[in-house]
């Protein structure tokens, strides 16, 4: 059943990518055409299942596994409820995940468009393709967050399947699922609009099909991962190598099958990623697009001078972020320890070559926010499991742990440190679930006394981890289910600003939307040169005027070439955080007189 679920998820992701790219050149990404295409796909799938019905066995669930399943279902219910009740509202969703969906939907194509913010066009698009399909078929963003929730559920299934493939019993498989479902950062992300959970699903599927030596689905899994998020290029190679090398006779098997495996891996990657590679090559000369969000090198993602110094520094600082607790004293002690280690190695923890611009390394936090919430207890268990594997010389788990560590080191060697990288490490934590579960799988122990002790320890650990999932499931800072800002008592439109409280600009957005809607303008220009958080304006204006179209104005980078031959002339221009900037006032003076709304400027035709 688990393998069948993973196969259908892979086929679903592949169908989404292929349908999007096939309909896009003809500007057929519209509700009618997309619905017809999916009806055909579903009909083919139904016929296949009718002709080749799967042989499913009813699983035998023991009380221990049943209790774990109940805990997972409770967490999943809370997460799914928050995903449905809340609009997409993370800062990244406001800046590029959702705006790219809006521009694709109004053009009926995923072709590049002019934008000051290259993330909207050049970053891997598969998660947003899924969002686009729900956006078009439902007429809005009410189901957008279910994309991450799907990745969450699929990954839980996937890690239990990996555990079975690696020889763990029912208890180990159940605990691997619980480990995955209770990751605090994972719970917080699973109700939002980020793409880390979808990437995690594809990487987990890749590991599983690599263990099963299923070359076609292995290739598709890798292709989907690389089409979802750039960190897949760092995580996938070591995880894939570890999965191919574990098990008796694995090396000999890889030697015999390497040509077939390589062919399907390359084929899967190219089948799904070639269109985006081509678009990026035409824009920047690189298949992955520009090396920074604005193409100017200021917010460059990679370390300026990769090497052991940057890798060690980033590893220490990333580890520090995962160790944050509620005790300020503890957090200060962690911070001072990391600083002392930097000093001993002759490293600078604030080195601008390895640190995100304007970020500063400080004591870790115990946040309940999807961007930087940590998984410290899960990390501790992973460390203990890796140490036990080494001490007991368990080859399979040593290789598996090595793959996880190599992925973490590649991550640290390439990406500059910033205080919001914890969310990007989610795939490694999830992929580590089987390793953690190996500690609690006592089914093969012959001694009755040791089995009883192992059961007691397993029950306590499971209870502890289930309890750690309670707070993030109910008290997500941006999508809470309880408290004064609960999704049950706040208006949905107000929740677009839940991740923007520090800027206190909800009222200016609402006023700008109201003025633009009352003007009756049908083509609205948006200048995001100063502030990229444009989606709240788009979403709220479309609620009042569903026919409105948006176009970026003030674009001066290489993407300006994608402007249509006859540019749309806006009758209004919205320029967030442009108040007092004379250049902007002069630039759009022909549209209308500038109206200052907080830190925003709004130009409306007279």
In contact, 34 and 124? CB cutoff 8 Å: no
pLDDT tens by residue, 527-571: 999 999 999 999 999 999 999 999 999 999 999 999 988 778 999
Tokens 């290789």 appear where? Answer: 399
Give the DSSP H/E element, type plus range, for residue 136. Answer: helix 126-138
pTM to 2 decimal places: 0.96
Task: Name the burial class of residue 83, with classes exposed (0-12), middle (13-18) and buried (19+) by CB atoms within 10 angstroms of its CB.
Answer: buried
SS3 477: coil
Can you spell out the DSSP letters for 146-204? HHHHHHHHHHHHHHHHHHHHTT--HHHHHHHHHHHHT-HHHHHHTTSS-SHHHHHHHHH
pLDDT of 242 reads: 95
459: confidence class by pLDDT, cuts 50, 70, 90: confident
pLDDT tens by residue, 402-442: 999 999 999 999 999 999 999 999 999 999 999 999 988 75
Give the DSSP H/E element, type plus range, for residue 551. Answer: strand 549-552
Tokens 């009926």 appear where? Answer: 108
The structural domains of the chain, with segments of one domain joined by +, span: 60-89+145-491, 494-604
pLDDT tens by residue, 215-230: 999 999 999 999 999 9
The tokens for 329 are 């004293």
Radius of gyration of the chain (CA): 25
DSSP β-ladder status, 600-604 and 594-597 = antiparallel
DSSP β-ladder status, 594-597 and 549-552 = unpaired
Alpha carbon of residue 224 to chain centroid: 13
SS3 604: strand
* CA-to-CA separations, 32 to 36, 134, 397, 457, in angstroms, rounded: 6, 13, 50, 55
SS3 601: strand
Closest CA to 368 of 425, 307, 436, 422: 422
Give percent above pLDDT 70 in the chain: 97
């Amino acid at each position: 059943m688990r393998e069948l679920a993973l196969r259908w998820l892979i086929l679903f992701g592949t169908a989404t990518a292929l349908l999007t790219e096939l309909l896009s050149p003809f500007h057929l990404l519209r509700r009618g055409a997309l619905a017809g295409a999916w009806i055909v796909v579903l009909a083919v799938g139904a016929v296949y299942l009718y002709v080749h019905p799967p042989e499913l066995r009813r699983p035998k669930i023991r009380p221990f596994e049943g209790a774990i399943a109940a805990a997972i279902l409770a967490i999943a219910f809370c997460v799914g409820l928050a995903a449905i009740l809340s609009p997409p509202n993370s800062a990244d969703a406001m800046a590029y995940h959702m705006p790219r969906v809006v521009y694709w939907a109004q053009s009926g194509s995923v072709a590049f468009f002019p934008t000051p913010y290259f993330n909207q066009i050049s970053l891997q698009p598969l998660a947003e393709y899924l969002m686009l399909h729900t956006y078009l078929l439902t007429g809005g963003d009410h189901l957008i967050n279910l994309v991450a929730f799907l990745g969450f559920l699929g990954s839980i299934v996937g890690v239990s399947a990996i555990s079975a493939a690696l020889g763990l019993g029912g208890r180990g498989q159940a605990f691997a699922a619980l480990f995955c479902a209770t990751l605090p950062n994972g719970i917080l992300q699973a109700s939002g609009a980020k793409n880390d959970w979808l990437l995690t699903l594809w990487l987990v599927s890749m590991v599983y099909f690599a263990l099963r030596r299923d070359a076609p689905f292995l290739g598709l899994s890798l292709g989907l991962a690389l089409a979802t998020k750039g960190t897949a290029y760092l995580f996938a190679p070591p995880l894939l190598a570890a999965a191919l090398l574990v098990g008796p006779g694995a090396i000999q098997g890889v030697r015999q099958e390497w040509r077939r495996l390589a062919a399907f891996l390359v084929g899967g990657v190219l089948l799904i990623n070639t269109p985006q590679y081509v678009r990026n090559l035409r824009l920047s000369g690189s298949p992955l697009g520009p090396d920074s969000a604005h193409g100017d090198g200021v917010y460059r993602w990679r370390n300026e001078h990769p090497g052991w110094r940057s890798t060690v520094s980033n590893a220490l600082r990333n580890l520090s972020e995962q160790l944050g607790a509620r005790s300020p004293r503890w957090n200060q002690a962690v911070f001072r320890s990391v600083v002392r280690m930097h000093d001993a190695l002759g490293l600078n923890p604030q080195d601008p070559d390895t640190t995100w611009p304007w970020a500063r390394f400080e004591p870790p936090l115990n946040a309940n926010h999807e961007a930087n919430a940590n998984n410290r207890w899960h990390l501790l268990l992973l460390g203990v499991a890796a140490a036990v594997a080494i001490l007991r010389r368990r080859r399979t788990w040593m290789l598996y742990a090595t793959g996880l560590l190599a992925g973490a080191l590649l991550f640290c060697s390439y990406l500059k440190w910033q205080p919001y990288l914890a969310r990007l490490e989610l795939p490694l934590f999830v992929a580590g679930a089987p390793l953690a579960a190996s500690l609690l799988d006592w089914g093969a122990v012959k001694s009755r006394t040791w089995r009883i002790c192992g059961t007691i320890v397993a029950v306590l650990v499971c209870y502890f981890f289930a309890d750690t999932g309670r707070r993030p499931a109910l008290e997500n800072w941006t999508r809470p289910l309880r408290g004064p800002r609960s999704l049950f008592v706040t208006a949905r439109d107000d929740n677009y600003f839940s991740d923007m409280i520090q800027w206190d600009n909800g009222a200016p957005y609402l006023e700008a939307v109201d003025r633009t809607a009352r003007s009756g303008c049908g083509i609205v220009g948006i200048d995001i040169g100063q502030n990229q958080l444009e989606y709240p304006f788009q979403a709220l204006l479309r609620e009042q005027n569903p026919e409105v179209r948006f176009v970026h104005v003030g674009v001066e980078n290489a993407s300006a070439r994608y402007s249509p031959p006859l540019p749309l002339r806006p009758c209004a221009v919205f320029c967030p955080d442009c108040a007092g900037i004379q250049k902007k006032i002069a630039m759009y003076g022909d549209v209308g007189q500038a109206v200052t709304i907080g830190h925003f400027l709004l130009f409306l035709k007279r």
